[in-house]
Structure 1
Amino acid sequence: MERRLIIALPDEEIARRLCGLPGGVRIIVWDLGDPAPDVAIDLLVLRYMIPAAELRGLAAVSVTVAQSQTLGFDGVSEALPAGIVYCNAVDVHEASTGELALALILASQRGIGEAVTAQPRGEWAHAQHPGLAGKTVLLIGVGGVGREIESRLAPFDARIVRVGRSARTDARGEVHGMHSLGALLPGADIVVLAVPLVGDTHHLVDAGFLGLLRPGALVVNVARGGVVDTAALVDWLGAGRGRAAVDVTDPEPLPADHPLWTLPGVIVTPHLGGHTDAMAGRVDRVVLEQVRRMRAGEPPLNPVLGG
């Protein structure tokens, strides 16, 4: 016999989109604010980009599965109450983040930022820029986001060198291990960061990492801000040794007076990675699959913590 499920959704918009859920499923709207519901919640869909610290409030509520709308889960393990299964949003943001990574690379390589800056001045800033063809792109991270970035780079006649947690060969070819970074960084024209923020990737990009790059190299971060030592990046950029295009920062949001905003050769976007008009439909599909699994007594989709 199928169970009657109680699902908590973060806002009325997603509740309207999912109003066609099968019978036996009760929807409540709750975004972790007060008052807390007095019922046991089978599936809690968290609001997009919720600070991990807010999850501590779930200790006073009965929740079986918490479904995130984001892919990363840095900081969650410290805040998630015991007994709750936390699932991330696999197959929601990877393609959109791949699009943005390519956009940041092309904008940086083709001088789009400089052209946009010159436009309000009516300045015809004609100049030669490096392009992408023939360049070596060091792609650090070969998970879902990394694969989408690689697929989008493939038609641009660039040499893609992939780096993962360990050295191996997969269907797409060679993956170098993290231990090879010291040998690979000097040959990179562009470094793209697409790794999760975990213990050994915190400040992966530090002064030593940046010091190995050739002059004028481009660092693109679509991972998490904490993967980069921001102070080291600012020093490297300020010395005119390279360029950066970052969608994520540490701290985030980036303060208005932070030097990254005004350093030359830098593009900053406000964590736009997966946030496109395709996101809602992808989130809905994940929620529907979680409901199907719960009704069938199957394990949840994409559990990463808890349980």
Structure 2
Amino acid sequence: MPGEHGGAARPGRRGVITVWLPTAESEALMGGLPAGFRADVWTGGPELPASADTVEVVVPPYGLTDAGLSRLAELPRLRLVQLESAGVEWIRPHVPDGVVLCNARGAYDRAVAEWVTGVVLAHLLRLPRFEQARRDERWDYTQTDSLEGKRVLLVGHGSLGAAVSPALAGFGARITAVARRPREGVHGVEELPGLLPEADIVVLLLPLTPATAGLVDASFLGRMRDGALLVNAGRGGLVVTEDLVAELREGRLYAALDVTAPEPLPAGHPLWSAPGLLLTPHTAGSNGTPPARAMALAKAQLVRYAAGEPLVNVIGGEGY
């Protein structure tokens, strides 16, 4: 599997190292290339740069098609694929054996924490209801709610969870964290059945892996308390959509989704008309700062690569 070769991906040759960047602006975003590198731009199109026989590091554009992803196998000196994204499910099967895959863990933490906090507050303050009333020209006074004292279950507690937790706790929320492996102050996923009924808000921050796909199914949702809010800032495939739609239509649960499966939603998809849903088009990490953070991370990774030092954010055989 890609990444299982772990820590250091040593450059294949001395001298100038070629890296492919996803846009013409990428080099400026990272504050210039490190010494010893030259860059070409590959936006994912069918035409590969002339340096295809010598490129060692590729920072691919997010959302490459399968046709574009298949071109990675044509690069004989490729040693490292460094992503701008935190999620890797879209590219991992296409990374050739022996090539190290690293993600942009940490680049989106603050942006996602802002989005989660924003949609939770919008729900509690009834902002979607009041916006609809404005459109209907109705003065629709009702009591609103507060985040203070709310029990929030964070499902996924890597760097994203570590950023979201204090953001919500700052409003007085009581946080319970869950991760794949239990540790001090963090529960294991096997404890979810007992934790779900106690939560007012459940926030999904997990990556999409074979172990997490479809985790939020009818059984998971059925354990959530009446009136609870499900927030998905992870991946759409974590949720069995038809099971969630059934709960929304019954009015038993609410949801705020930044990710769906599929993306984008096709016309007529039931999520478009589902009640009790706040939906954004995968914008949680799009507040303006993450691209520069991702490219700064990529630059630091290039320095490690050139020096033969251990790389960070390596995606190993067990995933994240």
**Fold conserved (TM > 0.5)?**
yes
Moved more, 203-212 or 254-263: 254-263
Q: Give the conservation status (yes or no) of the 8 Å contact 1:204–1:227.
A: yes
Moved more, 142-151 or 175-184: 175-184
The structure 2 residue matched to 1:114, chosen from 129, 132, 137, is 129
Could you say what secondary structure the match of 1:82 adopts?
coil
| 2:261 counterpart of 1:250 | yes
TM-score, normalisation: structure 1: 0.92
Counterpart amino acid of residue 159 in structure 2: G
Q: Which residue of 1 aligns with 2:42?
A: 30
Could you say what secondary structure the match of 2:53 adopts?
coil
Aligned length, in residue pairs: 302
| 2:228 counterpart of 1:217 | yes
Give 1:16 shift.
Answer: 4.1
| 2:304 counterpart of 1:289 | no
**Partners of 1:256 and 1:101 in 2: how far apart?**
26
Question: Quick one: higher RCO (CA 8 Å, sep 6+), 1 or 2?
Answer: 2
Q: Residues 19 and 285 from structure 1, CA distance in 2 versus in 1: closer, same or farther, beyond 3 angstroms?
A: closer
Give 1:305 shift.
Answer: 4.8
Q: Residues 17 and 143 from structure 1, CA distance in 2 versus in 1: closer, same or farther, beyond 3 angstroms?
A: closer
Give 1:232 shift.
Answer: 0.4
Structure 2 runs not aligned, ≥5 long: 1-12
Structure 1 runs not aligned, ≥5 long: none
Could you say what secondary structure the match of 1:303 adopts?
coil
Moved more, 282-291 or 30-39: 30-39
| 2:70 counterpart of 1:59 | no
Moved more, 128-137 or 240-249: 128-137
Moved more, 160-169 or 96-105: 160-169
Could you say what secondary structure the match of 2:230 adopts?
strand
- RMSD over equivalenced CA pairs, Å: 2.0
Q: Give the conservation status (yes or no) of the 8 Å contact 1:53–1:76.
A: no
Q: Residues 200 and 24 from structure 1, CA distance in 2 versus in 1: closer, same or farther, beyond 3 angstroms?
A: closer
**Partners of 2:66 and 2:89 in 1: how far apart?**
8
Could you say what secondary structure the match of 2:162 adopts?
helix
TM-score, normalisation: structure 2: 0.88
Query: 1:246-274 CA deviation, whole Å, 9 max, x = no partner?
Result: 00011111123212122221000011121
**Partners of 1:255 and 1:148 in 2: how far apart?**
32
Q: Which residue of 2 aligns with 1:166?
A: 181
Q: Which residue of 1 aligns with 2:5?
A: none
**Partners of 1:72 and 1:205 in 2: how far apart?**
18
Q: Which residue of 1 aligns with 2:21?
A: 9
Identical aligned residues as a percent: 39
What does 1:29-48 align with in structure 2 at a 5 Å threshold?
29-37=41-49, 38-48=52-62
Bigger proportion of residues as strand: 1
**Partners of 2:295 and 2:264 in 1: how far apart?**
27
Query: 1:150-181 CA deviation, whole Å, 9 max, x = no partner?
Result: 01011111211111113321xxxx21111111
Query: 1:98-134 CA deviation, whole Å, 9 max, x = no partner?
Result: 1111111111111111122222333222212332112
Q: Residues 233 and 13 from structure 1, CA distance in 2 versus in 1: closer, same or farther, beyond 3 angstroms?
A: same
Give 1:54 shift.
Answer: 3.6
Could you say what secondary structure the match of 1:27 adopts?
strand
